[in-house]
Structure 1
């Protein structure tokens, strides 16, 4: 009688093992799905942040280019004004000398 119970016990053990293995596979599948979902969400958020930073960088680059252009224009205008000032000062000095020469 002990010999006939052994195959049944072995079948029960195998069935329990198969059931636990199946449950473990199910848990693993759910875990993998959760990890994939988290990974996808992280990658999407990361991608959005990268896009935002790239956009801000492009905006900053265009602002910098505009400021460089403006600085160049102001430097040119400043040079013109210095040139005019030099000539005006020279003209005033010449006018003062003429006035001194007429008054003497």
Structure 2
């Protein structure tokens, strides 16, 4: 997925995507906090067809990482093409986050 077309302008995005695969939790968290930057660089279509499946396949481990991902995806509606594409988001998979880590509204 990363480094498509050899475009040097996408190199920082490729680095962020590689950090999503890193074993270091802190590197993954830093990259997840920049998911909107990755999505903007990829565009709506590639975000839906490449980034979201990539996240589904690679990020399923640390509760802390899943919580950060859930927080980022909460603002992804525009980045996936608007309300008609919100179903593309991975929120159902994020239900795996233990209840004690889920934010509560009171």
- Tell me the TM-score normalised to structure 2 length: 0.16
The structure with the largest helix share of the pair is 1
User: Which structure is larger by alpha-carbon Rg, 1 or 2?
Assistant: 1
User: Which structure is higher in RCO with an 8 Å CA cutoff and minimum separation 6?
Assistant: 2
